[in-house]
Every structure is written in C-alpha cells, then in structure tokens.
Structure 1
Amino acid sequence: MKTKALKLTSILLVALTIASALAACQSKSSNGSASDTPGGTASGTTNDTASAPKEHRTLTVEVFDRGKPGQPDLNNNFWTKYVNDNFGKQFNVTVNFVPVPRAQEVDKLNVLMAAGQAPDIVFTYNQGVVYNYVQQGGLAELDSVLQQYGATLTNYLGDDVLKYGKFNGKQYAIPGKRTVLAGDNTFIRKDWLDKLGLPVPTTPDQFYDTMVAFKEKNPGNVSGVIPFGYSLQPPYPGLGYIPEAFKPSNLTEEQFATFQAQPIWMSNWNLPGYDKAVQYMNKMYNAGLISPNFAIDKDGKMLDADVSNGKVGAFITNWDGPYRTAPGTLTNLKKNVPGAELIPIDPWQNDAGKHPKNGYSPNGMYIIMPKSSKNVDLAVQYLNWMADSKVTLFLQNGEEGVDYNMVNGVPKQTGTTNSGEKMMTVANNLDYDLLSNGIELGDPQKNAAAISAGYPGFEKEVENALKVGMTDYYSLYYYSSPNTADAKYNSALTNLSAQMLAKLIVSKPADLDKLYKTLVQQYMDQGGQEVQDEYVKNYKAQNSQ
C-alpha cells in the first residue's frame, strides 16, 4: 500500500562511534521455551563470539503505545521483564522501552530523529520515511555489524526479506518478516449454489452466469437481492482481484514492474487488461448484478449490512474478512439466516489457466538504527537474540502451561494475556516481537493452524480461506527506492480514481470506451504521467547497476 512519505525538516547528525566489539552470547534452548519463567535463563547456549561483555550498557527500543484501555506500563510489564531477565542478563544490558503513540508514530519519529534523541531501535511501516532518512544521512549502515553479530537474524529473515531494507545497495533497515501474505478472497453463498444445483464458478464467465442466476431465481428469497456485493471504499478504491482475469499472463518484467507497481486491488489504469476488467464491471452493473448504491458506500458499512442480512450472493474482501470479530459478517449472517454458508472461491482465471493473487510483500515493518546511536552493535545483537525460535515462541505466547497450551504443535491461548501486566496490546505481541509480523512457529503448516486457531468457531474455514488466498500468490516488483512522484500525487490520484470508477461502472455500455480514454487522459495529466515516468526511470536505474 502506498503511504505519502513525510519529510524531515532537519536532522542533527552526530558522528557514529561504535564501541569495541561486544562479545555476544547467543542463547538457544534445546528443550522448551527460552525460559520456563520470565526470569529464567535459557539452557543449551551457543556463542556467536568467544567471551561475555564486561561493561554495562543501556539499550533503548521504541514500542508503540496503542492507547488500549487497561494496558500495562509499556516499560515495566511481564514482557519487558522477560527481555531484561534474559537478554539483559546475558549481555549485561538494561533494555528501556520508549513509548511512541501509534497514530502519531511518523511525526514523533521525525521529531526524535531531528533532535538526535531517537531510541537505539526505532521502526516504521513507511518505506518513504526510511528512504528520506537514508538520503539525509540519518541512519547507520548495517552490513558489517550484521555480518559480525547477526547470524541467527540473517538466517531467519533470508535474502528475500532483507533486500527490502537495502537502499542504494547498502543495508539501512532490518525488515520484519510477514508470515501471512494473503490479500483478498472472493466469497460466495454456497447454500445458494446448492439450492440452485450450480457448481462453484472457476472462470469470469461462469461467475457472471452464476450472478445472473442469483438475480433471476433469488435463492435466498430476499427483497432487493444483490448478486455481487461491491463498495467503492476508500482509501484504496479498485476492483479487487477481477483485473487478474484480464491481465495478460505474458507481461515482461518491465511492464509488470511499471504498469502494476501498486497492488492489483487498487486502480491500475495503464495495466494491460484493466480496461477489460472495468468493462466486465460495467456489464454486471447494467445487468443489475452489483450493489446499486456502491458509489455512496464510502466506508463499506452498507455492504457489510447487506451481506449480514443475507441479501448478497458473492463479494470480495480481505482473505479472512467474514471470520473476523469486527464487523462479524459471517457470525451475523448465520444469526440472521440459519443455514447460510460462505466459502472462498477462485473465479478470476487468466489466459494461462492460473488464478493469480497479488498478496503482501514478505516484509513487515522497517527496523532502523539512527546514525547518532552508540549502540548499533548491541541493537543488532538484540534482534539476533529475538530471532531465536524459542524467544519468538515466548514473546508471542508467554509461558507454556500458564498462558498457552501446546496442542499438536500449535499454541492455544488460555486468555491470560488479555489483561493485566501480561496484556498484549496487539495480536501476537508484535509491539515486543518486532521481527515477526504474524504468528511464527517455524513451519508454514503450523503457522496456518495457529492462525486459524485465532478464529474460534471458524478454524477449518479460516484454514481453507488461507489456502485459497495463497493459490498462485505473487508479490509486487521490489523497488529499492520509493516513487517520489507517487508520494506527491497519491492522495489526489486515489480520490480521482474513485470518481473515475464510479462514472465508468454506471456508464452506458456504448459510451464506455470513449469515456475510459477521456478519464484516463485526465488522470495522466493530473500527475499520473509523472508517476508512470518515475517508475520507468527507477526500474531502468535499478537494473543498470
């Protein structure tokens, strides 16, 4: 997703002085968690270097303050004690956590960086912000320190993740690892299919015919049936995965990199085949198959209500959307319509017979160290310690037998981390387990089982939805530098795209081609061409190195 990069007003640079190399005792446990209790010491240690550190130091680490009611002191709780009782004692370090409001994290980080007061470890999800710091010389280079202290860390992340932290050929950030890469899914009322004796649609034509059948035969016997639920929701108005069916499968790498530089579910006006996807939606609208008020459903609540009330036959949403507790779509649907059933389907088949799905890139947040920090080596050792699978297990789940029970290799939470000093203010304790953006058990199948366990009552459905959502998965082309023109025009072009889609979808079929060309030219004139040109320029520069 594109986020408009915020600029630093100034950065007061302090020359980096790296202390003489600290010897690191990298702990690995051979049985059970990193410690049986938060104050325990891991057994079976292995050393990355030969001796223990001598002088005591303090490492400062950013932590998001999410303002969750009842949250504990973010610098003095069960998790911070675990860190200090384990990493702290092993490395003769005190780790202090510096709370930063989640909603203001970029603004606050800019102020701290400009004043030379940022913690030793800070992070953001905004690539543009990191790039600004790199351009202004505000970040420590990490290549050599990673090589010296980050064996476990680099092994855990791998080159495919680490490359997202490289700028101008050098490692300036440690990307977190995203464990769930699925984006969207298309869901359909299986009970409607069964009632009409219809098969699960696997192509766009079959899907269209199924929507026609839903309209004409109204298997739900509802007033105002909506075969295909659709909403032009901000902040990313688009067509879901429908364009995947119309995009040629033989795009060159440069075409893919420059024409689909943003996720498929956003508006990609220059992407070959995107006009055909718009034409498909226009055809469905004019046949009365999609939500009649899609253009004014600005927050998607109308669509949620229509699905929950049993009016909608199919719709596209997050891969796990119906199973989430908020807005509780499937739970509400089952209450309102006993016997209702939603299943994920794969109807957007392309010309190669595949069902491609543009999911998330494998990187999570960008973890960075200010150049002003005197503890860059220690910061990398901290992340290296965190990359140990036993540490990850503890930080994400707590004590086995108390906070969770292991069932078939998957931790089942007992509820103790919902309140008090053990409260996790975000799922999987991401605010303290910085490296893993999602459940991490070291095995994709176990991860999937653990993820599904987080949806009580829908475990099997979620596991299947994840499988469908990852079929023919791919990520966007990796750019080592952000598009500055996109950062400049993104907000205006996104708003313009929403207006364009609304006009095109409801237009008369005979007027569609001419209107499409006119509106896309308007889009290009208002910044789209500059964005496109910079993607081409960046691609060529990146591949000429």
Structure 2
Amino acid sequence: MNASMKKKAALLVSTVLLAGVAAGCGNGGNESPAASNDAPAASSGSPETLTVEVFDRGIQGQPDLNNNTWTKYVNEKFGKPNNAVVKFVTVPRSEEVDKLNVLMAANEAPDISFTYDGTTVTRFAKNKGLYTLDDLLAKHGQQLKAYLGDTVLAYGKYEGKQVSIPAKRTLLAWNGMFIRKDWLDKLGLPVPTNRDELYDALVAFRDKNPGKINGVIPWATAAAGMNYAFGNLVQSFWGPMSEEEFVTTTNWLKPGNKDAFKWLNKLYAEKLISPDFALDKTAKQADADVTNGKVGFYAANWDYPMVQKIREPLKQNAPEASFVPIDAFKNGEGKYLKEMYNENGLFSFIPKSSKHAELAMKYLNWMADPDVLFFLQFGEEGVNHTMVNGIPQGIAQTGDNMQMSNLNLDYTLIVNGAELGDTEKNVKTYAAALATGDQSYEKLAVDSYKINTTDGYTGFYYGVPNEANIKYGKTLGDMNKQMMDRLIVAKPAEFDALYDKLVKEYMDAGGKAVQDENVKHYREIKAGSN
C-alpha cells in the first residue's frame, strides 16, 4: 500500500440506508445562503432563536437537556453577545436517523442538526435539502476552518460543495489485541511480535494452563459482528496489491484472505479459540470468560481493558491478571497493517428550511475557541474536574452538572474525543474518563493507542454514495457475518470448497455490483485529479 493510501481520509458513505425513510427536501436549490438566501438580521432588542439538536440518551437522573450547566453556559457566552437564544431540540439517540428524516421531510429540523450516518447526509444533499456552506465558512467560520483543517472538512463535501461540518475525531485507533503478560512470564515466553510467536503462546496456554483454572481459553472471541474480532490478523495475510485493488476489491477476493481464514480454522480445530463462539451473539460469554480470568488473549476495541464492565470484575476475580497490548500480525512487507477510524465523527448540517444559517455558522465557529471547547468538555476546575499532571480528571456529577455522554459529546458538535491539543494528552484524558481517574490505566492507554495506529490506514473517500451498497448492503452484511463464522468452524478438509462456494454466493448476491461501482467511482476520481 503506497503512502497516498495512508494519507487519504475515508468516509464510506455507502453504508446501508434504512429502506423507506424519507429524505430531507427543504425549499429551493442547494445554493449558499450567503449568496442568495441570507436570514434577515435580528432586530435590536429582539433575540434571534437558534435551534440545535441534542441527543436524548435516556440516562437515569439526567437534567433538563435544554436547561443545565452546559446550556446556560452556551446562552451566557454565545447567546447574549449575539443577541440570540439557543434552544436545544431533543432527539432520541436510538431513533435519531428515523426522527431526523421525519423532521427534514416536514421542514422542521433544528437549525443545526447532526447525525453519524454519512449516507443520510448525502441523501439530504442529493435531494437539495441542505445549505451549501462554503461562503458561510469563508465569512463566519475562519476559526472553525483552522481547527478542523481541509482533511476533516473534506468528509463533509458533496459534488465539491461543503454540505456538512464533520466533527474532528481526536483518537483514530479502532481494534486492539491484548495478552496475559502474567501468563507469559510464568511460562518464560516473550511478548509475541508475529503470528508464529502468538501461536506458540496460545498452545502453551492450552497445554500448560498457567492460571490453573478450569476451562482455559487461549483466544476468546465471539460471533462475527460483535466485539472480540481478529484484530489485524486478516490484513497480515494479504499479498501485494495496487492502490486500486486495495481500495475497491472486496476483502473476500483480496490475495491471501483465504489463507487468513484457513489459519483461524486451524486454530479452532486445535481448540485454541472459544469453542462456542458462533453462538455468542451478544459477546456476553466472551466478556464473562475474560473477566473470570479464563482467557489468555483477545482482540477487541483498543480501549477494551479500560471499560468498567471488564476492568472491575477482572480485578475482583483475577487480581493477578495483567493484560498488555501487542502487535503480533506482521505482513510480508514487515508492516502491521490495521484499519483505523477516519478523521471525522458526526456530521453537523444546516437544513434548507433554516432561517438562521449565519447564526448557526457563528455558533459552530464560536465552539472552536479552545477555552469554549475546554469548558464544554471538562467544565469548571474544582467543580467538574481536577487537574492531575496536566490531565483533567472528571468529578462524578448529578443534577445540572451531569454530562450525558463522555466528554459532553452531544454538546461539542465539532469534536469527537478529548481535545487538549496533543494526542498523548488526549489519550490519557480519555483513559482517565473511562477509568474514573485511575492513573494505572494511562500507560495501558498510551501503549495501546500507539500500537494500534502504527501502519494504520483508513478507507478510501469516494465522496458519493455507492448505490449498489445501499441496495444490497444489509444482505451482504448479514452474509459476511455468517461466512466468517461458518468458515472458522468448518471441518478442515471441507474448508477450501466451502470458501469458494460462499464467496461466489456473496458476489452473486450483490458483492460484484458493489465492487464494480467502487471501481467506477475510484477511476473517475483518479481521472479528475490528473
């Protein structure tokens, strides 16, 4: 994979669109409001009302989402100087796409609306339901532009126009791999740095059972699609490819992909993987196995050992357990390829029905002020947080000071993740927030993040939806999960024939159509850039 691949940000806007959901369709064309549809200036003494979406996550004991410490700060620091009132419109988190589509179709969406679903935003733009924002950014968004940068902003473009403001994702690591260091030490084994060393460790865990427990599980995993995946194992088997092949070819047809699943099939046959993983549809069994001290190795989110449901019961059940992050899947070129999150998080946009587009842009631009962002994420020192070695440690809150999401994500629309201007500080802050101030997790977090962004790549940014994926995506997604599970548990003698059969069925069910459209879009983009 060449250098340009690593640098290119990814927004895979060809995700599954909910069937039958109405697309937003406001008034008029898709021109910039600064050019032809500016909202009239608020008259003196008559505050302009700006409506902003906020998720209702249904948290027990949560305050009024439109009247709390954070909304009061917004109205005091932004509202008053701009002769405005900021009103927050709640949308249930579990129904956000459905609700947003209804609001857009009725021309009743908040002046600043947002979603994590890139396909939904693209549909709104395609149906001319959104303002284009280029002129507004130039006029009222200089601080916002400087903070996000061209790479992040590129995720919010459609047909070359800025139609949404993507949030900056400050932490890009995705999957991680963790092994019991205390077990390795008992067996006199090194921390694995390649597949062979990991295999030797898994066999030793199975045969020598260093924890002296019943039902030892060398490698814990769960049904495909759940947490407990395979880290970057599959990528480590892939052979050389051109950028076009790497970007557009379905993983099932990439060179070496078959060998990766054959290796997993071998591990399963040798009882090195959770015996009933395919039945574990919720990952509850895998969680129980890890927290009961039965597991030697697992792959999951890069921060999984720090989450409360794992760290607390593990401390109680196996206080001697020490999981450390590892990088054990090196490819033939000596790289540890691993997919990362792209640089953007949620997408904020201004519906065409809005009469307050300029004020909306001013609000997002105001939020890019470092002091504003810090307060919205961490609050007041001594009240909402304390500083420990330069890292804000949250103080548990109830009532108006309560944050309904980690780092107040729902009120900080321009950023996903802690923002202290330094990646290592951001990682430590995130770890502190997860582990409620337990500094012992800071090193684990820093090490895991570093490992799981080494040789990282993001998917290719097409900038247009893959219509075939919208049509076949749900079917292909379900097939993909079933294929992974079936191939791993298959009888080794039947593996090759089964792989070929399942891949053909996958391609016939829409995989080829999706791949062909990816090739078409990729070549169009490359031709346009020459």
The Cα of 1:473 is off from its aligned counterpart by 2.1
SS of match in other structure, 1:269? helix
Alpha-carbon shift at residue 518 of structure 1 (Å): 1.1
1:14 to 27, 36, 43: 27
- The one-letter amino acid paired with 2:16 is K
* Equivalent residue number for residue 450 of structure 1: 429
Q: What's 1:342 paired with? A: 323
1:21/1:12 CA distance change after superposition, 3 Å = closer
CA distance in 1, matches of 2:55, 2:219: 39
Q: Displacement of 1:375 after TM fit?
A: 1.4
* Alignment partner, residue 401 of structure 1: 382
Question: For 1:511, which of 466, 490, 494 is the aligned residue?
Answer: 494
Query: How many positions carry a matched residue from both structures?
Result: 505
> 1:18 touches 1:375 (CA, 8 Å); kept in 2?
no
- Residue type of the partner of 2:405? V
What one-letter code is carried by the residue in structure 2 that aligns with 1:315? Y
Match of 2:8 in 1: none
Asked if 2 retains the 8 angstrom alpha-carbon contact of 1:233 and 1:297, the reply is no
> What is the deviation of 1:259?
2.3
The answer as to whether partners of 1:247 and 1:271 remain within 8 angstroms in 2 is: yes
Distance 2:128 2:446 in 1: 45
Q: Do 1:71 and 1:423's aligned partners in 2 also have CA atoms closer than 8 Å? A: yes
Instruction: State yes or no: 1:300 paired with 2:283.
Output: yes
- Give the C-alpha shift of residue 22 in structure 1: 6.7
Q: Report the alpha carbon displacement of residue 461 of structure 1 after superposing the two structures with TM.
A: 2.1
Q: Does the alignment pair 1:4 with 2:16? A: yes
User: Is the 1:215–1:225 Cα contact (8 Å) retained in structure 2?
Assistant: yes
Q: Does residue 149 of structure 1 match 2:128? A: no
CA distance in 2, matches of 1:387, 1:22: 23
1:490 to 454, 466, 473: 473
- Report how far residue 490 of structure 1 moved: 2.2
SS at match of 1:400: coil
Deviation by residue 1:68-109 (Cα, 9 ceiling, x = unmatched):
111111111111111111111121111111111111111111
- Tell me which of 106, 114, 119 is aligned to 2:105: 114
Query: Of 486, 503, 522, which aligns to 1:539?
Result: 522
Q: 1:511 to 1:537 in 2, by over 3 A?
A: same
1:507, distance to aligned residue in structure 2 (A): 2.2
Residues of 2 paired with 1:486 and 1:218: CA distance?
46
1:230 and 2:221 aligned: yes
Residue 289 of structure 1, CA deviation: 1.0
Deviations 1:300-350 (A, max 9, x none): 11111111222211110111112101x22x332232223111111100111
* Residue aligned with 1:544, SS: helix
TM-score (norm 1): 0.88
Residue deviations 1:501-535, cap 9 Å, x none?
Answer: 22221223232222211110011111211111121
Is the partner of 2:155 in helix, strand or coil?
helix
Distance change in 2, residues 1:435/1:11 (3 Å): closer
Q: Provide the C-alpha distance between the structure 2 equivalents of 1:477 and 1:89, rounded to a whole number of angstroms.
A: 43
Displacement of 1:204 in angstroms is 0.9
Map 1:142-181 → 2, pairs under 5 A: 142-181=133-172
Give the counterpart letter for 1:383 in structure 2. L
CA distance in 1, matches of 2:357, 2:288: 51
Question: For the Cα contact (< 8 Å) 1:236–1:494, is it kept in 2?
Answer: no
> Cα deviations across residues 34-64 of structure 1 (Å, max 9, x unaligned)?
xxxxxxxxxxxxxxxxxx9986311111111
Q: Which amino acid aligns with 2:289?
A: D
Change (3 A) 1:212 1:117: same
From 349, 353, 371, the counterpart of 1:372: 353
* Runs (5+) with no aligned partner, structure 2: 1-11
Report the 3-state secondary structure (helix = DSSP H, G, I; strand = E; otherwise coil) of the residue aligned with 2:253: coil
**Which residue identity is paired with 2:415?**
S
Alpha-carbon distance in structure 2 between the residues aligned to 1:221 and 1:253: 48
Deviations 1:397-456 (CA, angstroms, capped at 9, x unpaired)? 1112322223333212222xx210111110110111111111111121221221222214
The residue that corresponds to 2:271 in the other structure is 288
Q: Distance in 2 between matches of 1:541 and 1:54?
A: 53
Where structure 1 has 5 or more consecutive residues not aligned to the other structure, the ranges are 24-51, 261-267
Residue 36 of structure 1 is matched in structure 2 by none
Distance 2:221 2:142 in 1: 48
Equivalent residues in 2 for 1:80-229 (5 A)?
80-229=71-220
Q: Please tell me the residue identity of whatever aligns with 1:351.
A: G
Q: 1:478 to 1:54 in 2, by over 3 A?
A: farther
Find the residue that maps to 1:19 and give its secondary structure: coil
How far is 1:385 from its partner?
A: 0.3
> Aligned pair 1:65/2:56, yes or no?
yes
Deviations 1:174-230 (A, max 9, x none): 000111111111111111100110001111111112111211212112222221112
Change (3 A) 1:166 1:53: farther
Whether the aligned pair in 1 keeps the contact of 2:386 and 2:395 (CA below 8 Å) is yes
1:230 and 1:316 in contact (8 A); partners too: yes
- Distance in 2 (alpha carbons) for counterparts of 1:405 and 1:310: 34
Residue 361 of structure 1, aligned match among 325, 335, 342 = 342
CA distance in 2, matches of 1:374, 1:253: 44
User: In 2, are the aligned partners of 1:238 and 1:498 still within 8 Å (CA)?
Assistant: no
The residue type equivalent to 2:234 in the other structure is: P
Residue 280 of structure 2 aligns with an amino acid whose one-letter code is D
Q: TM-score, normalised by structure 2?
A: 0.91
1:388 aligns with 2:369: yes
1:246 maps to a residue whose letter is F
Separation in 1, partners of 2:199, 2:333: 20
Q: Within the alignment, does 1:254 sit opposite 2:237 as a pair?
A: no
Report the CA distance shift for 1:505/1:384 in structure 2 as closer, same or farther (over 3 A): same
> Partners of 2:293 and 2:124 in 1: how far apart?
50
1:424 maps to 2:368:
no
Q: Is the 8 A contact 1:237 1:494 kept in 2?
A: no
Aligned to 1:276: 259
Q: Distance in 1 between matches of 2:45 and 2:135?
A: 22
> What is the DSSP-based 3-state SS (H/G/I as helix, E as strand, rest coil) of the residue aligned with 1:282?
helix
CA contact (8 A) 1:204 1:245 kept: no
Higher helix content, 1 or 2: 2
In structure 1, how many angstroms separate the alpha carbons of the residues matched to 2:465 and 2:448? 32
CA distance in 2, matches of 1:284, 1:167: 45
Judge conservation of contact 2:192–2:326 (CA < 8 Å) in 1.
Answer: yes
Letter in 1 for 2:101: N
Residue 464 of structure 1: aligned partner: 447
1:309 equivalent in alignment to 2:292: yes
Shift of 1:464: 2.2
Percent identity, please: 49
Match for 2:326: what amino acid?
I
8 Å Cα contact 1:58/1:95 also seen in 2: yes
Supply the distance in 2 between the matched residues of 1:469 and 1:289 (Cα, whole angstroms): 24
Give the drift of 1:489: 2.0
Equivalent positions of 1:36-47 (< 5 A) are: none
2:232 corresponds to which of 238, 241, 248: 241
